[in-house]
Structure 1
Amino acid sequence: MPITRRKTRQVKVGNVLVGGGAPISVQTMTKTDTRDTAATISQIKELEKLGCDIIRVAVPDQEAANSLREIKKNISIPLVADIHFDYRLALMALESGVDALRINPGNIGGADRVRTLTRAAAERGVPIRIGVNLGSLDKEIAAEYGRTAQALVISALQHAALLEKENFYDIVISVKAASVPMTIEAYRMLSEKVDYPLHLGVTEAGGPWVGTIKSAIGIGSLLVDGIGDTIRVSLTGPPHEEVKVGKQILKSLGLRSGGIDLISCPTCGRCQIDLFKILNEVENKLAVVDEDLKVAVMGCVVNGPGEAKDADVGIAGGKGCGILFKKGKLVGKVPEGELVESLLAEIYQILEERKQNKCE
């Protein structure tokens, strides 16, 4: 059943629309030192190839802020500056041409500074994300409401009110916790109180294994509810893993098209090929392919092609060999050492045929 998405305002982050029915975008954050301009640009370019829609960078000081203009000039996706405490860094970021700011209005100074910042953002048409995390919750709110979902929502609403007071409404909000149930509860509460687009994520989710599970459950549960306009999977690890997981969450729910849908069996005692190695090779080779294509990598002929007959193309293992099939029909028998090469050749041929058909 198609997911009915919640109606929200729409903001423009560079050339990417967020909210208002726009496709749900995938974000990540660079893991480089922003002051190392070359390394940061290089990492962002790799993320662009993987389909990252929006990139965020930390701006801890003026040296980092001074790098933003060069970074922005050399990348193709919208750039978000992550600012804490010093509103002057946010002003520098705006002057450098960033596409959005991520701040907590409550920790950048008094009303005068908030006013100066919101006016500067409004003049440039730059939206602001209010990012509330449980780990940095306002002390007064935590004292009154505890470290709860309600506290996260109240903090977000108070911060939004600071911007609204200046007639600024190009706002995106996030309310993240490391606890999946608390994160879900907070976003559900918030979605009933505002129509701003929501940035989903589970903060401090952990490494690739645990973090992927927590993010898939937390983000996925909210998306099924129709809540969420942009997502960021937070993992202790390289940012490309965050993008891959984020895209897959959306694809699994039918909320994003494009890219390989790679299916594989869990293996059992019938498997007589090194399926784990083969799967990893295929996955790595196809990571940058953005065409809709279902590819099956199966351990034996019980699972493929029979159980994978809806795949566009696939392989199934035998004893030291395997079979190649298309749409459930046998193409040929291939030695194990040539399975990956044969599968990729078939995939690239399909993609080339599609390309030729589009040109006709």
Structure 2
Amino acid sequence: MASKRQIWVGSVPVGGGAPVAVQTMTKTETANLTATMDQIRRVAEAGADIVRVAVPRDRDVEALRTIVRESPIPVIADIHFNHTLALKAIDAGAHCVRINPGNIGGPEKTGVVVEHARRAGVPIRVGVNSGSLPEHLRDLEFSNPVEALVTAATEMVELMHRLDFHDFKVSMKSTSVPNTIASNRLLAERIDQPLHLGVTEAGTKWSGSLKSAVGLGTLLADGIGDTIRISLSTFHAEEEVKVAWEILKALKLRERGPVLIACPTCGRLQFDMDTVVQEIEHRLEAYADPIEVSVLGCAVNGIGEARHADFGITGAKDAGMIFSKGEPLKKVRTEHLVDELFAEIDKWYAAGKQVVADEAQRAEAAEWLAENEDAEAMTPERLAALEKEAAEREAASPVAGRRFSR
């Protein structure tokens, strides 16, 4: 149920089948140019497609002129209560302005902003939040919060249509994950504008990331949503961007950088996997390609749990094994697993993304795996072997494929 309409925020398409755009908002005082630009560069490096800045004062508008000129990604001006600031932000070059018609001064002032945006060719984001619904919907908010959100958003869309303005996207956010999911599902059925998704005031990096992953992930899996923002209580906006990308990567909607696969560990673990996983995750940040790297805690999971991974390790007390695409590469002492893993990855890059293997090392690694894996465990390899054996027996039968009747 992807949005049919498409708008452009600077050079970034939103809606109409374009990739889901990642955005965030700076945590700095916008007028502090140095701090704001530093943060914008960090979020852009982390993968943000779009960044939003708060513009509550005239001095923020003045800074916005420079920010728009120097930013590596398109900039949205976030405006509340004062419609004249929206006009000034458009004049300052903002690639988009965010307004809430419910607090910007009513339909008349919204119309002034819309006309200014139309002349400048600047799109608008209209937003509804569960904490700032129009007064006439307050009673409905208590009895049916989902319908209250959808009604508020629909009224805003109808206002924009009456103004004959279609270059806009819609956001409808709640602190409640179920309400966010239900309301956006309903709204997606009623309008064809691009949808900006988010769980507002989601919480800390830990709880907020989980709530956002559940809420936004559910909607994105349904095909709903064209751009996302993760709202976390952190001064580091790049952390919001990283969470957004992990959600998109998990759903296979976009690719950016490596994918790390790691087993949850259990009583079979015999090495410090927690430290190893963290080090691997950190070192993978230096690689741009979406390679899959697997870290398995023991030979029971072995290669089979991640036979699709480009590279991986499986460990034991004193030694472990490095593998690639389901095939052993080399046996390595446990303390050298991480360094040797990245040596193999770098060797792969140097050979034009081809695995370079030593047959003697392969054989030693395969022998180690055979000695350490659980002889009773029904691994994918053993299941495949059993299925192959059964198929061969059936093919050898002189009555295979025949039907018999009395």
TM-score by length of 2: 0.82
Match of 2:20 in 1: 24
Check if 1:149 corresponds to 2:146: yes
Alpha-carbon distance between aligned partners in 2 of 1:74 and 1:335, rounded to the nearest angstrom? 49
Alpha-carbon distance between aligned partners in 1 of 2:2 and 2:70, rounded to the nearest angstrom? 35
Q: Secondary structure at the match of 1:105?
A: coil
Q: Secondary structure at the match of 1:269?
A: coil
Alpha-carbon distance between aligned partners in 1 of 2:123 and 2:156, rounded to the nearest angstrom? 14
- Relative distance call for 1:115 and 1:72 in structure 2 (3 A) is same
Match of 1:159 in 2: 156
What is the deviation of 1:240?
Answer: 2.0
Give CA-to-partner distance per residue, 1:85-115, whole Å, 9 cap, x none.
Answer: 1112112211121111111022112444222
Give CA-to-partner distance per residue, 1:139-187, whole Å, 9 cap, x none.
Answer: 2211345360111111112222332222111111111111111111110
Higher mean C-alpha displacement, 205-214 vs 160-169: 160-169
Of the two structures, which has the highest relative contact order with CA contacts closer than 8 Å and spacing of 6 or more?
1
Q: Which amino acid aligns with 1:127?
A: P
Is 1:27–1:52's contact at 8 Å kept on the other side of the alignment? Answer: yes
Q: Which amino acid aligns with 1:93?
A: A
Alpha-carbon distance between aligned partners in 1 of 2:168 and 2:286, rounded to the nearest angstrom? 32
Is 2:54–2:77's contact at 8 Å kept on the other side of the alignment? Answer: yes
What is the deviation of 1:294?
Answer: 0.7
What is the deviation of 1:353?
Answer: 4.3
Higher mean C-alpha displacement, 35-44 vs 196-205: 35-44
Give CA-to-partner distance per residue, 1:10-36, whole Å, 9 cap, x none.
Answer: 000111101111111111111222122
Which of these residues, 195, 213, 216, is aligned with residue 216 of structure 1? 213
Which of these residues, 32, 35, 38, is aligned with residue 39 of structure 1? 35
Question: Which consecutive residues of structure 2, in runs of 5 or more, have no partner in the other structure?
Answer: 355-406
Match of 1:13 in 2: 9
Match of 1:306 in 2: 304
What is the deviation of 1:323?
Answer: 2.1
Q: Secondary structure at the match of 2:154?
A: helix
Q: Give the aligned CA root-mean-square deviation in angstroms.
A: 1.9
Check if 1:75 corresponds to 2:52: no
Match of 2:275 in 1: 277
Higher mean C-alpha displacement, 166-175 vs 251-260: 251-260
Q: Secondary structure at the match of 1:107?
A: coil
Check if 1:48 corresponds to 2:44: yes
TM-score by length of 1: 0.92
- Relative distance call for 1:7 and 1:106 in structure 2 (3 A) is closer
| 1:214-253 → structure 2 map (5 Å cutoff) | 214-237=211-234, 238-253=236-251
Q: Secondary structure at the match of 1:307?
A: helix
Which of these residues, 285, 292, 297, is aligned with residue 295 of structure 2? 297
Match of 2:86 in 1: 90
Q: Secondary structure at the match of 1:333?
A: strand
Question: Which consecutive residues of structure 1, in runs of 5 or more, have no partner in the other structure?
Answer: none
Is 1:264–1:298's contact at 8 Å kept on the other side of the alignment? Answer: yes
Higher mean C-alpha displacement, 342-351 vs 145-154: 342-351
Check if 1:333 corresponds to 2:323: no
Alpha-carbon distance between aligned partners in 2 of 1:342 and 1:42, rounded to the nearest angstrom? 35
- Relative distance call for 1:227 and 1:154 in structure 2 (3 A) is same
What is the deviation of 1:8?
Answer: 1.8
How much identity, in percent, do the aligned residues show? 48
Match of 2:165 in 1: 168
